[in-house]
Amino acid sequence: MRKEITFTLNNEEVTVEVEPKWTLLYLLREVLGLTGTKEGCGYGECGACTVIIEGKAVNSCIYPVLEAEGKNITTIEGLSKNGELHVLQKAFIEKGAVQCGFCTPGMIMSAKALLDEKPNPTEDDIKEAIEGNLCRCTGYVMIIDAIKSVAAGR
Amino acid sequence: MRSFEYYKPNSIEEAIKIMSGLDNAKFIAGGTDVMVQLRQKKISPQHLISLRNISELRNIDTKDGLKIGSLVTHDDIDKNEYIKKYYSALTDATSRLGSKQIRNVATIGGNICNAAPSADTACPLLIFDAKAVIIGTKGEREVDLNEFFLGPGKTVLEKDEILKEFSMPRLKENTGSAYIKHTRREAMDLPILGVATRITISLDKDSQIRCRDLLCTIDSISNILMQLKDEGLKCEEARIAMGVVAPKPIRAKKAEEALAGKIISIELFEEVGEIAASEAQPRDSIRGEAWYRKEMIKVLVKRALMKSIDRIVRPDEEIYPERLW
Amino acid sequence: MENLKVVGKKIPKLDAPLKAAGVAQYIQDIKLPGMLYGKILYSKYPHANILKIDTSKAEKLAGVKAIVIAKDMPPNFRIGFMKDNPPLKSKKVLSIRDEIAAVAATSQEIAEEALSLIEVEYEELPGIFDPLEAMKEGAPILHEEAKSNVLKLPWRLVCGDVEKAKDESAYIAEDTFSTQWVTHCCLGTSGCIAHFDMQNNLTLYSNTQIPSLAQNDFVEALNAFGLKNRRVRIIQAVIGGGFGSKLDTYAYEYIAILLALKTKKPVKIIFTREEEFFATSPRQCTITKISQGCDKEGRLTFREVEMILDNGAYTSWGATTPSVMMLPISSLYKVPNVKYTAKCVYTNNTYCQAMRGYGNPQATFAIESNLDQLAEKADIDPLEIRRINANEPGEITPQRFKITSCGMKECIEEVAKRLNWKEKRGKDKGRGVGMASLIHVGGGARVYKSDGCGTIIKMDDFGKVDVFTGASDIGQGSDTVIAQIVAEVLGIPIEDVNVINNDTEVCPWDVGVHASRTTFVAGNAALGAANRIRQQILDAASKIFEEEPSNLDIKDSIIFSTKNSEKSIPLGKVLRRIHYTTGGKMLMAEYFYDPANENFDKEFKGNLSASYAYGTHGVEVEVDKETGKVKILNYIAAHDVGKAINPLLLEGQIYGGGLQGIGYALGEKMIYKDGRLMNGNFLDYKIPTVKDVPPIQPVIVETEEKEGPFGAKGIGEPGLVPTAPAIANAIYDAIGVRIKDLPITPEKVLAAIKAKEGEKKI
């Protein structure tokens, strides 16, 4: 049976009917058309589906949709403001942190959750924040650089 | 994935009431195990009862010993300085479970109720003599964590019972603890083997200073232990727990006994490691070979004990991660 | 090289903003109106007869639009390099990933449910999972028509006289090495959408790395389906990782096409992560027997290699990897006498394909590990033996490779210096250093009949260009490199270059993104087309200025005379002047570049590539003697790249390749038990996480390859080729044990340490 939930998505209030068995990722991608959040594994093992819920990075592929009720949720689509990309997005682009790009949105969301909580993270903090985001292309080095550059720039 | 109803009770009583009226229902907390099992079709409940809205399960109480509500997340524990200082082994475990995203939602109660032989928090809870506080329709009961696990995926919890919290006694002076998770990868991994130790030692001010100097060196573990022997440090009490060596996380009680009352030395630690290994029945699996796990018990028990002592002697120092213990 | 404005600069990848914003459309993200979802039913057993398939219950499920089984495919329709693989199996299954039936339904979930309603009766047969068993007399033959489990691919290369060289060698080292199955682990799983228009022309939205060859394959398939003279259009979605996994066409694509044809609706098949693990084709595992010899001075005298490859149940291009293995076997270091034979053997395991390096990592693991063994026998420092035998420019190798530019010596010296080799080597204490080098194709590889790529450029009235290239971007950044080349030649800002690279309807032919060839081949094609446009521009401007075209240049979209600085005119002005006039023209140019390399002759000799890439990796490791864990303390990756057109992207290839190599060396392994994959998920198949990254230092050595665009050579694959032997050699230096079987797990290291200690006690 469908249930109605209301939550804040990228700073806008959303009310939508959902099926209890859906995951948050399913709602975002298949119902709301927000395909920036990716599914890489479906089991919380790769981080491609990372979104920010109440300030924390979460795997949306194993997040029960009904738990979204009343929450403040940000996806990759919520980062740019008036067509201007977020500093983290710009840093990823400029530092070469993007290759095939499939892990990129999740990676950026993990990095954002970190910087929101800790504006001046250490390299270890950065690694801890993205340890659940697998990337097969870049070897991570330039991703770490990108996040560092934003931290330093604040 | 088959359809199910989803309930979000606000109190323990309400949750139990819902559960007792339903068939084929399951509690869900952080969901990092349950959702995966659902998606893999390993389970197919008709009803899921979420515990996330029950705020009384989220407490961390440090007034007398330590009480941790079952819904406390791994990330909450990571950030708790009191736990990190006094119940360090627990932070060792929570900080290396899964990934940041998992730790942000996965709860300690969930980790234990899932009852995997590899559950990271089980070993630390075992060495802290944790009791599981359980509430059900028949009231509240306490179960020693040793008795809580029945086997892989099986616990003593009855259908309409909820794990409320873990209760651990206050620790004695001069007690240190550590958990070592032996993995192939440095993150996002299950342990090939997990070992937690807690040790209480006799220590006066002077020997603390001398031990401190010893431990500040980057000498090998055996050299340090050899010199430590001259200090005559006595083990008052010890606990050792191991994961992934049996159908459930276990204590190495014979090894604990072998330590109690003895002067700390390399020979003693090696003997204790051997005894602990003899108490384990690891299996071959794709995650690790049995012979290797046995070998690693010997090594990790020694290292975990060293790390525990290090924490007593140098309570305010970060232990270098590149150190072997 | 003259003053370059765009080439040689660290320019961010052009499609990175779309990807970082989350708006890039991967195959997962594309939905067409009325689209159905396809799902495939795979075999339950690795080897079995199919007795019966009953789809009646599934057909009745609401939302199911079509179910197909083997009889819906054209009879005798086979795919793959040896045409031995029917996309749907009828009588017999030969591996656990064999496709038996497929469903198209209105949702993913209904399709899944329908699969569970299809009943298949099997008669299980004993399987063969070991290539050595499969080669034995009397072993059951998997493909009856083939009459043998050994594929009819007679890989055999003989140069000089190995037997004679053996007799004359002062030292010989011989050993056997083996490698495991590893898989690409693209973060974006495989998938496609097949869609027919009213005339039964096919559009396939795809992840393919070979759009032009795939187009051929599908035209052939449509012919087999009875659809003659239909068009096939391949549109590539943004590709979520390639690494060689998409260098063939696969059963799922033919199944999607069949389902789309049956339903007259677009049909999308997307692999789950489990399918991606067990139903795509990994890098082949190998057993390699190798011996090498040298004279008293350490000069290599011969190299002899015998190899067995587990081909799996069917044959993809992976069976041709021995052709690339020949490259390091015959030509890594100067070695006058070479003999190599390889057998690909059918088993009931998963069938193998190309993966970054195309056989080179397996071969180099054996060669470079064994070279250290030889150095020890000859009592020569491993660094020294590499210096003595290093390749040099101008060499013609025994397999007839013409070495043009070659920076191998520089790479070796860079590694020795940065690793502090002399200080660090041979000191006990559980730490050690090791190195290994590589040779790879760096100027295309003529494995197919053509090694070409086409480019079309059109210019608008304002100096902006659209570049239509055959080259596919799989994340490596060919879009950006091509744009840089065009911008440099035309003297325009890179923002004015738009690269279109994803649609066979408009993009010219290209053999595919493989063999580290794209920068070299597609780069040269872009260079050729851009030069033609440039000539047209300068010709037009020369009339305006009354100045020889050779005295004109373009910078910042302004054409000027190099003789008289007062003569200058904006590019756009010239373009409009020649366009808006009677008999006017707009500038367009095309160029098809096919390098002057050669297909192998019958003896597998010939100049495979127009240039060769070199590199040396050096590693310092620390081994935990109690646990067997290996920690990389320092990693130097020196690469001769000809010229770095974009150092940012180039370093990205080295970092990424290096970490994949480290995964290959130390941890990754697909664990197959009796034909079944036991660890098909990201938790148990352990690709490195960010916390597994050691300090990696890329070193770029530039040798200015004459044939390459602006001097460049390929770098896509080399980053992981010498990683595993460099690490294995460092471990040997650290603790005196040699691991000859990848991956080098803590178990293997500890067991070897214990075995060695046991030896000592005796």
Kindly determine whether residue A85 and residue C17, on different chains, have CB atoms separated by under 8 Å. yes
| Confidence at residue B211, expressed as pLDDT on a 0 to 100 scale | 84
Subunit partners of chain C (3 or more CB pairs within 8 A): A, B
| Confidence at residue C761, expressed as pLDDT on a 0 to 100 scale | 55
Coil/strand/helix, residue C473: coil
* B3 exposure class (CB count in 10 Å sphere: 0-12, 13-18, 19+): exposed
Secondary structure percentages of chain A, helix, strand, coil, to 5: 40, 20, 40
User: C683 — contact with chain A (CB < 8 Å)?
Assistant: yes
As for how many domains chain A has, the answer is 2
3-state secondary structure C331-374: HCCCCCEEEEEEEEEECCCCCCECCCCCCHHHHHHHHHHHHHHH
Q: Do domains C34-125+189-239+246-278 and C286-390+397-446+601-761 have the same CATH topology?
A: no
pLDDT digits (tens, 9 = 90+) for B291-307: 999 999 999 999 999 99
Give the span between the Cα atoms of C37 and C35, in whole angstroms: 7
A40 and A92, same domain (yes or no): no
Chain A: residue nearest B75 by CA?
A56
A73 and A133, same domain (yes or no): no
- Residue C484 near residue C494 (C-beta atoms within 8 A): yes
User: A7 — contact with chain C (CB < 8 Å)?
Assistant: no
| Nearest chain B Cα distance for residue C151, angstroms | 31
DSSP C698-742: EEEEE---TTSGGG----TTGGGSSHHHHHHHHHHHHHS----BS
The DSSP element (H or E) to which B211 belongs, if any, is helix B205-216
| Domain termination site, one of A18, A51, A78 | A78
Owner of token pair 């920690």: C631
Kindly determine whether residue C681 and residue A45, on different chains, have CB atoms separated by under 8 Å. yes
- Residue C364 near residue C328 (C-beta atoms within 8 A): yes
Residues in chain B with CB shorter than 8 Å from the CB of A110 are 100-101
pLDDT digits (tens, 9 = 90+) for C431-463: 999 999 999 999 999 999 999 999 999 999 999
User: A57 — contact with chain B (CB < 8 Å)?
Assistant: yes
- Residue C360 near residue C325 (C-beta atoms within 8 A): yes
A93 and A68, same domain (yes or no): no
Residues in chain C with CB shorter than 8 Å from the CB of A103 are 187
Copy the structure tokens of residue C166: 């053996």
User: C681 — contact with chain A (CB < 8 Å)?
Assistant: yes
Give me the helices (H) in C26-67, please: 56-60
Closest to C382 in 3D by CA, of C436, C334, C418: C436
Q: How far is CA C551 from the centre of its chain?
A: 43
Give the span between the Cα atoms of C53 and C120, in whole angstroms: 4
Amino acid code (one letter) for B49:
I
CA angle A85, A86, A88 (to 5 degrees): 120
Kindly determine whether residue B185 and residue C671, on different chains, have CB atoms separated by under 8 Å. no
Closest to C204 in 3D by CA, of C546, C480, C504, C646: C504
Tell me how crowded residue C302 is: count the other CB atoms within 10 A of its CB. 25
The strands making up B5-7's β-sheet, listed across from edge to edge, are B5-7, B47-50, B25-28
- For CA atoms C329, C330, C332, C334, give the dihedral sign: positive
Give me the helices (H) in C378-463, please: 382-389, 408-419, 421-424
Taken in order of first residue, the domains within chain B and their CATH numbers are 5-116+130-168 (3.30.465.10), 175-313 (3.30.390.50)
| Confidence at residue C578, expressed as pLDDT on a 0 to 100 scale | 94
Kindly determine whether residue C692 and residue B185, on different chains, have CB atoms separated by under 8 Å. yes
Coil/strand/helix, residue A111: helix
Q: What are phi and psi of A80, to 5 degrees?
A: -75, 145
Domain of residue A49, CATH code = 3.10.20.30
Kindly determine whether residue A131 and residue B188, on different chains, have CB atoms separated by under 8 Å. yes
Residues in chain B with CB shorter than 8 Å from the CB of C750 are 292, 295
Residue of A45, A50, A136, A150 best to disrupt the C interface, most CBs of C under 10 A: A136
Residues in chain B with CB shorter than 8 Å from the CB of C624 are 324
A61 and A104, same domain (yes or no): no
Owner of token pair 């944790």: B130
High-pLDDT (> 70) share of chain C, %: 99
How does residue C3 score in pLDDT terms, banded at 50, 70 and 90? confident
pLDDT digits (tens, 9 = 90+) for C705-742: 999 999 999 999 999 999 999 999 999 999 999 999 99
Give the span between the Cα atoms of C640 and C621, in whole angstroms: 24
- Which top CATH class is C34-125+189-239+246-278? alpha beta
| Nearest chain A Cα distance for residue B49, angstroms | 11
- Of the candidates C109, C684, C691, which has its C-beta nearest B186's C-beta? C691
User: How many Cβ pairs closer than 8 A exist between chain A and B?
Assistant: 84
pLDDT digits (tens, 9 = 90+) for C559-609: 999 998 889 999 999 999 999 999 999 999 999 999 999 999 999 999 999
Long-range contacts of C129-134 (CB under 8 A, 24+ apart): C129/C46, C129/C347, C129/C348, C129/C349, C129/C672, C129/C674, C129/C675, C130/C347, C131/C287, C131/C308, C131/C309, C131/C310, C131/C311, C131/C343, C131/C345, C131/C347, C132/C287, C132/C308, C134/C345, C134/C346, C134/C347
Q: What are phi and psi of A130, to 5 degrees?
A: -110, 15
Chain B: residue nearest A106 by CA?
B101
Subunit partners of chain A (3 or more CB pairs within 8 A): B, C
- Residue B241 near residue B179 (C-beta atoms within 8 A): no
Give the span between the Cα atoms of B2 and C73, in whole angstroms: 32
Which residues neighbour C633 within 8 Å (Cβ) at sequence distance 6 or greater? Answer: C431, C620, C621, C622, C694, C695
Give the span between the Cα atoms of C213 and C206, in whole angstroms: 13
A99 and A141, same domain (yes or no): yes
Give the span between the Cα atoms of C183 and C197, in whole angstroms: 36
Helix C211-224, helix C251-263: angle, nearest 10: 50
* B140 exposure class (CB count in 10 Å sphere: 0-12, 13-18, 19+): exposed
- Name the β-bridge partners of C618: C435, C636
Copy the structure tokens of residue C34: 């009325």
| Confidence at residue B324, expressed as pLDDT on a 0 to 100 scale | 59
Tell me the residue range of the domain where A114 lies. 87-153
Domain positions in chain C: 34-125+189-239+246-278, 286-390+397-446+601-761, 452-593
* pLDDT for B320 beyond 80: no
pLDDT digits (tens, 9 = 90+) for A92-149: 999 999 999 999 999 999 999 999 999 999 999 999 999 999 999 999 999 999 999 9
- In the stretch 78-107 of chain A, residues with CB closer than 8 A to chain C read 79-80, 85, 89-90, 92-94, 96, 98-105
- Name the β-bridge partners of C178: C287, C741
Residues in chain B with CB shorter than 8 Å from the CB of C684 are 286-287
| Domain termination site, one of A22, A43, A78 | A78
* pLDDT for C550 beyond 80: yes
Closest to C697 in 3D by CA, of C436, C386, C419: C419
Give the span between the Cα atoms of B164 and B135, in whole angstroms: 6
Give the span between the Cα atoms of C400 and C398, in whole angstroms: 5
**Which residues of B have a CB under 8 Å from any CB of C?**
1, 182, 184-190, 286-289, 292, 295-296, 299, 324
Second CATH level (architecture) for the domain C286-390+397-446+601-761: 2-Layer Sandwich (3.30)
A37 and A95, same domain (yes or no): no
Give the span between the Cα atoms of B139 and C280, in whole angstroms: 54
Give the span between the Cα atoms of C148 and C140, in whole angstroms: 9
Region C387-413: mean pLDDT is 98
Kindly determine whether residue A62 and residue B39, on different chains, have CB atoms separated by under 8 Å. yes
| Domain termination site, one of A44, A78, A112 | A78
| Confidence at residue B224, expressed as pLDDT on a 0 to 100 scale | 84
- Residue B105 near residue B73 (C-beta atoms within 8 A): yes
Chain C: residue nearest A81 by CA?
C21
* pLDDT for C268 beyond 90: yes
Residues in chain A with CB shorter than 8 Å from the CB of C185 are 134, 136
| Confidence at residue C91, expressed as pLDDT on a 0 to 100 scale | 94
Give the span between the Cα atoms of C346 and C141, in whole angstroms: 9
- Residue C723 near residue C665 (C-beta atoms within 8 A): yes
Closest to C552 in 3D by CA, of C571, C540, C538: C538
Q: What are phi and psi of C533, to 5 degrees?
A: -65, -40
| Confidence at residue C2, expressed as pLDDT on a 0 to 100 scale | 64
User: A129 — contact with chain B (CB < 8 Å)?
Assistant: yes
Chain A: residue nearest B105 by CA?
A58
| Confidence at residue C611, expressed as pLDDT on a 0 to 100 scale | 98
Kindly determine whether residue C187 and residue A100, on different chains, have CB atoms separated by under 8 Å. yes
Q: Evaluate the omega torsion of the peptide bond into residue C75 and state whether it is cis, within 30 degrees of 0.
A: no
Give the span between the Cα atoms of C545 and C16, in whole angstroms: 41
For chain C, what is the radius of gyration of the CA atoms? 27
The DSSP element (H or E) to which B241 belongs, if any, is strand B235-243
Coil/strand/helix, residue B185: coil
Topology, domain C452-593: Aldehyde Oxidoreductase; domain 4 (3.30.365)
Kindly determine whether residue C687 and residue A93, on different chains, have CB atoms separated by under 8 Å. no
| Confidence at residue B261, expressed as pLDDT on a 0 to 100 scale | 96
Which residues neighbour A81 within 8 Å (Cβ) at sequence distance 6 or greater? Answer: none
Q: What is the DSSP pairing of strand B149-151 with strand B154-155?
A: antiparallel
pLDDT digits (tens, 9 = 90+) for C190-249: 999 999 999 999 999 999 999 999 999 999 999 999 999 999 999 999 999 999 999 999
* pLDDT for B191 beyond 90: yes
How does residue B323 score in pLDDT terms, banded at 50, 70 and 90? low
* pLDDT for B37 beyond 90: yes
Residue of B295, B298, B301, B302 best to disrupt the C interface, most CBs of C under 10 A: B295
- For residue C213, give Cα distances in angstroms to B149, C76, C217, C324, C442: 58, 21, 6, 20, 21
A74 and A108, same domain (yes or no): no
